[in-house]
Amino acid sequence: MHIRHVISVSGGKDSTATLLLALERVPREQIVAFFCDTGNEIPVTHAYLDDLENHLGFKIHRLKADFSAEIAAKRRFIARDKRIRREYRTAPVFDAQGRPVPKRDKFGNIMHRIVRRGGTEIQEPIQKTRRVGGGRRVRWSNKAKRRALAVLHPTGNPFLDLCLWKGRFPSRMAQFCTEELKRNIAVAFQLDLIDQGFPVVSWQGIRRDESPNRRNAKRLERIGPKLWAFRPLVDWTAQQTVDFVRSQGCPLNPLYSQGQSRVGCVCINTNKQGLAQTAYRYPDEIDRIEDWEWLVGQVSKRGFSTFMCDADDRKDRRAIFADLNIRARVEWAKGDNGTVDLFDRLDLPVCASAYGLCE
Q: What residue is closest to ligand SF4 based on CB?
A: 265
> In the range 260-289, which residues lie near ligand SF4 by CB under 6 A?
264-265, 267-269
Nearer Cβ to ligand SF4 (115/174): 174
Q: At what angle do helices 326-334 and 283-298 cross, to 10 degrees?
A: 140
Shortest distance, position 2 Cβ to ligand SF4, whole Å: 32
Strands of 227-230's sheet, edge to edge?
Answer: 60-63, 31-36, 4-8, 200-203, 227-230, 220-224
Torsion of CA 83, 89, 92, 94, to 10 degrees: -100
Give CA–CA dist 318/315, Å, rounded. 9
The answer to whether residues 296 and 169 touch, using CB atoms and an 8 Å cutoff, is yes
Whole-number Å distance between alpha carbons of 186 and 6: 9
Contact between 109 and 124 (Cβ < 8 Å): no
Q: Do residues 165 and 74 make contact, with C-beta atoms less than 8 angstroms apart? A: yes
Minimum distance, C-beta of residue 244 to ligand SF4, in the bound complex (Å):
23
Rounded CA separation 313/320 (Å): 9
Q: By CB under 6 A, tell whether 211 contacts ligand SF4.
A: no
Q: What is the rounded distance in angstroms from the CA atom of residue 269 to the CA atom of residue 278?
A: 13
- Smaller CB separation from ligand SF4, 5 or 210: 210
Which of the residues 15 through 54 are near ligand SF4 (CB under 6 A)? 38
Q: What character string, x for contact with ligand SF4 (CB under 6 A) and - otherwise, covers 166-205?
A: ----x----x-xx--xx-----------------------
Cβ 38 to ligand SF4 shortest distance, Å? 6
Determine the size of the site formed for ligand SF4 (CB under 6 A): 14
Cβ-based nearer residue to ligand SF4, 17 or 351: 351
Minimum distance from residue 343 beta carbon to ligand SF4 (Å) = 12
**Shortest spacing between CB 110 and ligand SF4, in angstroms:** 40
Residues 307-336 that bind ligand SF4 (CB under 6 A): none
Identify which of residues 227 and 268 has a Cβ nearer to ligand SF4 in the complex: 268
E strands present in the chain:
4-8, 31-36, 60-63, 86-92, 112-117, 120-125, 129-137, 200-203, 220-224, 227-230
Closer by beta carbon to ligand SF4, 10 or else 202: 10
Which residues of the chain form contacts with ligand SF4 (CB under 6 A)? Answer: 38, 170, 175, 177-178, 181-182, 264-265, 267-269, 351, 358
